[in-house]
Structure 1
């Protein structure tokens, strides 16, 4: 094992310690949770990254993502012409200048949204989610509803997953509610996974498989970070939720129409949030820099430098990795992945790019916290105050969980 791998191996317990120190309850952490969380992440990552059959499956996932991208490009080319990827009617003066994010990358959200709805209607997605939920219950001993929501977050968003357990949401213990929120922020939805994999494919090998692995190992990582910050002290009562995913669509065609409409809403939300948050960060930087010489990204780079080092990143790459982690929290992971695919990842070693891709794989930003709190409070208004109080702590725990995912792959990836 190399020095950098040992660095990441030492970083995992240090990240656990950080989560414990950030929590308000220092007693009641069960050793089973720590052991299950750490071994669960390492075992899942080792299987998915180093077993040849599963690696071959990753290649198939990557081919599927490319097929989706090509199919989407056929639709955008028809609707938007050269703006959507059709041949240019003029000569491109700079490489990549014709790429327009909204018309060429983001429409993938629509296609994957419709496909996800169909897979849910055909009961394929609920079957996979239920299997993951049962595995999490054996590892951590949490209730069925909480496990179902955490497992669903591997495939759907931070609001859609709690929606699957809406009848049980009010009966979750405080710790389980926190776990549900942290898992929503520490993972990404399937449609965004496809978009990000397409974006970073030129700089991260097997990008789709890497991000799928990241989302899978972030599930036990999210539970671990959450229960270190807020240990379980009550008796879970919502065991019955496993296997109880409700039917949402009347037919396959209804699933396609509904999934497309949901994807459109998400697409417009992404566009709006990108414009607003990038503008707000630019505005704040415009006020900070003349007065202090600092920017939000530079402050984030300082804060996340130790976490980047704990993930097994070499010292010469830590500043760049920490800066992109800061951008992820201040703006969102979309902008960080854009920078990783562009000039931001140009000077990084391949191992550092892979670790960073894992650490960025989560909705850990202030905008997502607001979206999640609004959605969950609407589903469970009687616990609105509690959800709001747990909002910012859930962002901290989810950020640590994403760094645990990075450290895990750092342990298993040699320089």
Structure 2
């Protein structure tokens, strides 16, 4: 039954992608089949093998250590603010982003990250049948984040046709920044975070290849990474530290606003209709939770968490997931994989704003296909969770 449900789920995701395709005749099915097979293999390795457990434990241990080091700096500034045993989401989960951002800056400065991003992107381009630029951008998005990544391809942004620009933006919305991965791991199980990161990378290409198929000619497929202005080491370090702090503040502000608004809307709906807004959305998303492999009796609760992510952001939804203590471990795992991406309404504005800062004309183009971006990125999350679900017990 589980295998039939997975097949049904994948067919539904492909069907919804096909319905929204802007060029159905140009869809290339061979790369799609290769990538979906790779997703199954990678999910099986990460979730069901000793090698996968070892890899995930290694990644988790690295981030645990980094968060410990980050805590030293946070405690120096904020030590004594909290009583012993108390917990602050901002202090314990968001502020470590500052330290992780500084490390990313150092790896960028010594040219380690650009090397890794470029050559992983080149390998990916052989698999996905898309352009080298698109593949580079997908890997870069998973490291640098959904707004910063466009700076690295600044030279090409103004010259890209609409279809290639869509794929770049879709990758930025389907992945997450490496600077906040540690924060995710502080809320949900690390193995689901790592699994989602890997599956989303291929899922973004799978859905984009159906929604937005095209062929890139060799003479159009040139990667010219924007060279950063020459800075001293400490200038760079200060800039990345401040960027990390801005991210932490922005996430904190959005959490305050969204959590409060959801509470207000839930109160209004409960008073008028006798059911909360999240419960109502839960019924709408329940069928999607079911095809992802969530047991039927838990689909409404799972759907509510999925909807919370889309209308607010993944942090709000992850915190909401923690409140459902009666959900099965299988449901928690599947929903955890679904939550690890930037697929929400606020990301449309963030991505459009980032592109607009580099090219006014292209920023307006992105804003026009913003809803299609969210549609595609949500399908990526559903696909990743569906594939992972077959290996989650």
* TM-score after normalising by structure 1: 0.88
- Map Cα deviations across residues 87-132 of structure 1 (whole Å, 9 max, x no partner): 62xxx6xxxxx21111221111101110111111122222221232
8 Å contact kept, 1:29–1:232? yes
Tell me the residue number matched to 1:157. Answer: 145
Moved over 6 A (4+): none
Please give the alpha-carbon distance, in whole angstroms, between the structure 1 residues aligned to 2:229 and 2:304.
Answer: 41
Please give the alpha-carbon distance, in whole angstroms, between the structure 2 residues aligned to 1:13 and 1:334.
Answer: 29
Cα offset, 1:326, TM superposition:
0.6
8 Å contact kept, 1:175–1:227? no
Out of 259, 276, 283, the residue aligned to residue 264 of structure 2 is 283
Instruction: Identify the range of structure 1 (191-200 vs 42-51) with the bigger mean alpha-carbon deviation.
Output: 42-51
| Runs of at least 5 residues in structure 1 that lack an aligned partner in the other structure | 93-97
Tell me the residue number matched to 1:255. Answer: 236
Aligned residues: 393
Tell me the residue number matched to 1:61. Answer: 59
Tell me the residue number matched to 2:13. Answer: 15
- Map Cα deviations across residues 208-237 of structure 1 (whole Å, 9 max, x no partner): x43123112101111211232222267575
Aligned to 2:94, the other structure's residue is in SS state: coil
The alignment status of 1:394 with 2:354, answered yes or no, reads: no
Tell me the residue number matched to 1:232. Answer: 214
The alignment status of 1:241 with 2:223, answered yes or no, reads: yes
Tell me the residue number matched to 1:210. Answer: 192
Aligned 1:18-29 pairs, distance under 5 A = 18-29=16-27
Please give the alpha-carbon distance, in whole angstroms, between the structure 2 residues aligned to 1:352 and 1:169.
Answer: 40
The alignment status of 1:124 with 2:119, answered yes or no, reads: no
Instruction: Identify the range of structure 1 (124-133 vs 322-331) with the bigger mean alpha-carbon deviation.
Output: 124-133
Out of 166, 169, 194, the residue aligned to residue 178 of structure 1 is 166
Tell me the residue number matched to 2:339. Answer: 360
Please give the alpha-carbon distance, in whole angstroms, between the structure 1 residues aligned to 2:145 and 2:347.
Answer: 10
Cα offset, 1:22, TM superposition:
3.1
8 Å contact kept, 1:4–1:313? no
Out of 315, 325, 334, the residue aligned to residue 296 of structure 2 is 315
Query: Structure 1's 235 and 293: CA in aligned 2 closer, same or farther, altered over 3 A?
Result: farther
The alignment status of 1:269 with 2:257, answered yes or no, reads: no
* Aligned CA-pair RMSD: 2.2
- Map Cα deviations across residues 283-303 of structure 1 (whole Å, 9 max, x no partner): 334444433344432232122
The alignment status of 1:302 with 2:278, answered yes or no, reads: no
Query: Structure 1's 408 and 249: CA in aligned 2 closer, same or farther, altered over 3 A?
Result: farther
8 Å contact kept, 2:45–2:51? no
Query: Structure 1's 5 and 197: CA in aligned 2 closer, same or farther, altered over 3 A?
Result: farther
8 Å contact kept, 2:137–2:168? yes
- Map Cα deviations across residues 180-230 of structure 1 (whole Å, 9 max, x no partner): 111111111112111010122xxx3xx1x4312311210111121123222
Please give the alpha-carbon distance, in whole angstroms, between the structure 1 residues aligned to 2:237 and 2:342.
Answer: 25
Tell me the residue number matched to 1:336. Answer: 317
8 Å contact kept, 1:186–1:401? yes
Cα offset, 1:379, TM superposition:
1.5
Aligned to 1:65, the other structure's residue is in SS state: helix
Aligned to 2:142, the other structure's residue is in SS state: coil
Query: Structure 1's 234 and 126: CA in aligned 2 closer, same or farther, altered over 3 A?
Result: closer
- Map Cα deviations across residues 27-59 of structure 1 (whole Å, 9 max, x no partner): 322213421331232233234334533431221
| Runs of at least 5 residues in structure 2 that lack an aligned partner in the other structure | none
8 Å contact kept, 2:157–2:362? no
8 Å contact kept, 2:154–2:226? no
Tell me the residue number matched to 1:222. Answer: 204
Aligned to 1:240, the other structure's residue is in SS state: coil
